[in-house]
Amino acid sequence: MADKWKRVEKDGFTLIVNEGGATLGVGKGMEDHILCVDGFAFKDLNRNGTLEPYEDWRLPIEERIADLAERMSVAEIAGLMLYSAHQTICKGNPMAALLYPGREIQDTRENIWDLTEEQRKFLIEDNVRHVLLAMVEDVPTAARWNNQAQALVEAIGWGIPINISSDPRHTPAGTAEFNMGSGGDISMWPDHLGLAATFDPDLTRRFGEIASKEYRAMGIATALSPQIDIASDPRWFRFSGTFGEGVQLSVDMARAYCDGFQTSAGARALETGGAPGWGFDSVNAMVKHWPGGGSGEGGRDAHFGYGKYAVYPGGGFEEALKPFTEGAFHLRGETGTASAVMPYYTVSWGIDKKYGENVGNSYNKYIITDLLREKYGYDGVVCTDWLITADAGPIDTFIGGKCWGVEELSIAERHYKILTAGVDQFGGNNDKGPVLEAYQMWAREHGEQAALARFRESARRLLRNIFRTGLFENPYLDPEESRATAGCPEFVGAGYAAQLRSVVLLKNATVKGGETSAEPVLPLSKKTKVYIPKRRRNESRNWFGVTVPAHEVEPVSAKLVGEYFEVVGAAADADCAFCYIESPKSDGYREGEGYLPISLQYRPYTAERAREKNIAGTDDRSYRGKTNVTTNESDLDLVLDTKKKMGDKPVVVLVHANNPFVAAEFEPVADAVLVEFSVEPQALLDIVSGRAEPSALLPFQMPADMETVEAQAEDVPRDMKPYTDSAGRVWDFAFGLDWSGVIDDERVRRYR
């Protein structure tokens, strides 16, 4: 029978093109491990000269998955259950040393895209096949690293490809601290909260379609996103990563995001296998954080020991599930449901009435098995958040284990408890040892066959996400093709257009003599003389516990502003001033002072009306009567001082918002207020200059004061008294202005 395939040599790998069948990618050293059956070519992944069912791309994917899961040893499945610590492919990486102290990489690589010894070890010895890629130098570097890593694992064991993942990496510097800067020459989009501000799920789906292509150009096949927690408490420091506090908006955005990321079409869809919608443009969406992480007591966050508890004083637990159960689990596209779920670190206090446990969500059998698996029928991968099996560090550190509620268990016992809860995978763990110990515990308690059946159940789920994205057929990349795809003009233009649509105009009314008129300030004319004061940054501590000294910053490039207006150095010479500020920042705990109120106002705040006793736990975490200060109180001084200098000349305040804030402190003296959620500087300038018209809406309520923040229930969205500005307009959910005034369109009517 004549061959129905041909070879095409690529940069570092070989393509095998089957006529009317799958196109295969073969790594260096594996070119001779090709089987020819019925005239077609197949990869001999286990190198035994026989075509096994899992190697046969003509068979249904479920049949291939079942075959491979039965062949794998317990140790191999244990490795499959691991999700690596953060990996980086770039020169100079202080973040990695901070996240994983004592495990710094000695950079002896000849090329930046070469594998490190640590990476080779966990891929070969621990059988890790899920890798979290944090920082990359550029797209071709990521592609070359992917090719080296995939070639290594193709030549060992069963030839199982690596499923590379990433946290969100498409937003400008506003979220760089959390996504570790990410890197790579890709399109820039507003963050989740900015997408929500467009109130346009179709735009979010388009983002997913573009982002997935750029991810796959870097070898990334799983997105550790979207974050679909309802942002029901305005103080939560993960607020900016959500779609806001609108339940239906979050449902629609979650569905659109997952559909966009997971769906492949046309020639990029899988040719065979019975997995409709999946293919080489598909990226698995790992939705987080089940069952919702936005209700931390006092607004505190469970990355820290002082924020381990989620509470439900308003009975809002069921509402928090809706973005999952009605959105991510009910997609409109053919992929059907989000392929993975990540529970949050929190102890969902008092929710488990069946077993009576108050433990972290990944340890809780009621929350994972009874609720997620059985009640809602979810059979995808469940992966823990990172480092939950490690021992906890100091109560106020971001770095360290987050084993909330099971601190007394050993590391192996924690793995066992997670498996009994119904979880498949351990985030941030490169070591299969504790997983194998957990297997032995299961075998002793339930028998060897039961333990093996449990491991194979997780293996099938994990393999499914590798098969459906086409990695078994071709995990390799042409670096130049990757460069041409990621950050192409079409994608960059779409991202920038989305940025423009995400900026919310909250005020546009001249303030003279302390009185607000109806006369608009924006847009400004080309000849406007603009004064931009420097921004003072007080000493602060970042998420990783590193002290950032006090300093002054130029908030925007004068050269860039000069392309729109005339920049002057003094208020006296200006027609208008721009004040760039951020929403207030404060911690919920400080060594020596204990628990503190998280403040959304700039001036020092004393919690006179806070809850007297905490809801969760047994230790006293009340902060009533305590005072906290923000690290950026100077932002308020900047606005007030600038207004004094400008007199009756207009002051435009541009706020980078990570959270809602108490605007009453500066709004009466501001002539215009714009809020952005991680956009490039020129996007703001395009709007204030009139090159673009604002169209975004608030995806949350802006609180009238801190008293209403204290009075709201952590688990109930949109339960605050909103702020009424000096023009008499209420800054409520779905409020926003365009050049004509208050926006009242179909989006407002649907979601408000």
Angle at 495 between CA 652 and CA 287, to 5 degrees: 105
| Token digits of residue 741 | 């005034």
**Biggest alpha carbon distance in the chain?**
91
Segment 718-741 shows an average pLDDT of 97
Q: Do the beta carbons of residue 22 and residue 43 sit within 8 Å?
A: no
Look at the block and give the residue holding tokens 């966050």. 301
- Mean pLDDT, the chain, as a whole number? 93
Q: Do the beta carbons of residue 592 and residue 548 sit within 8 Å?
A: no
Residue 544 has pLDDT above 70, yes or no: no
Residue 105 has pLDDT above 60, yes or no: no
Q: Do the beta carbons of residue 222 and residue 283 sit within 8 Å?
A: yes
- Using a 10 angstrom Cβ sphere, with 0-12 exposed, 13-18 middle and 19 or more buried, the burial of residue 375 is exposed
Residues contacting residue 227 through CB under 8 Å, at least 6 positions apart: 168, 192, 238, 241, 242, 243, 288, 289
Tell me the pLDDT band of 533, cut-offs 50, 70 and 90: very high
The per-residue pLDDT for range 214-245, each reduced to its tens digit, is: 999 999 999 999 999 999 999 999 999 999 99
Residue 99 has pLDDT above 50, yes or no: no
What is the spatial order of strands in the sheet that 284-290 belongs to?
86-89, 130-136, 163-166, 220-223, 284-290, 340-343, 381-382
To the nearest 10°, the Cα dihedral for 106, 108, 109, 115?
-40
| Token digits of residue 30 | 């594996």
Q: How far apart are CA 623 and CA 634, in angstroms?
A: 24
Q: How far apart are CA 505 and CA 314, in angstroms?
A: 32
Residue 182 has pLDDT above 60, yes or no: no
The per-residue pLDDT for range 581-594, each reduced to its tens digit, is: 999 999 999 999 99
Q: How far apart are CA 93 and CA 133, in angstroms?
A: 13
The per-residue pLDDT for range 263-285, each reduced to its tens digit, is: 999 889 987 888 999 999 999 99
Coil, helix or strand at residue 347: strand
Q: Do the beta carbons of residue 693 and residue 673 sit within 8 Å?
A: no
Q: How far apart are CA 464 and CA 699, in angstroms?
A: 35
- Count of all residues that appear for the chain in the document: 752
The domains located in the chain, with CATH, are 5-51 (no CATH), 61-490 (3.20.20.300), 503-584+643-741 (3.40.50.1700)
- Using a 10 angstrom Cβ sphere, with 0-12 exposed, 13-18 middle and 19 or more buried, the burial of residue 749 is exposed
Q: Where would I find the H helices in 422-488?
A: 433-446, 448-467, 479-485
- pLDDT at 184 (0 to 100): 65
- Using a 10 angstrom Cβ sphere, with 0-12 exposed, 13-18 middle and 19 or more buried, the burial of residue 591 is exposed
Residues contacting residue 192 through CB under 8 Å, at least 6 positions apart: 168, 225, 226, 227, 240, 241, 242, 243, 253
Residues contacting residue 153 through CB under 8 Å, at least 6 positions apart: 123, 129, 159, 160, 161, 162
- pLDDT at 652 (0 to 100): 98
The per-residue pLDDT for range 646-660, each reduced to its tens digit, is: 999 999 999 999 999
Look at the block and give the residue holding tokens 């501001």. 670
String of b and e for 286-325 (b: at least 16 CB within 10 Å)? bbbbbbbbbbbbbbbbbbbbbbbbbbbebebbebbbbbbb
Residues contacting residue 168 through CB under 8 Å, at least 6 positions apart: 175, 179, 182, 191, 192, 223, 224, 225, 227, 241
Segment 30-55 shows an average pLDDT of 96
Specify the DSSP class assigned to residue 597.
P
- pLDDT at 175 (0 to 100): 40
| Token digits of residue 484 | 């041409």
| Token digits of residue 350 | 């008092």
Look at the block and give the residue holding tokens 């670190």. 345
| Token digits of residue 571 | 């208020």
The per-residue pLDDT for range 500-523, each reduced to its tens digit, is: 999 999 999 987 777 878 789 999
Residue 93 has pLDDT above 60, yes or no: no
Which position has the higher pLDDT, 53 or 105? Answer: 53
Tell me the pLDDT band of 107, cut-offs 50, 70 and 90: low
The per-residue pLDDT for range 386-441, each reduced to its tens digit, is: 999 999 999 998 888 999 999 999 999 999 999 999 999 999 999 999 999 999 99
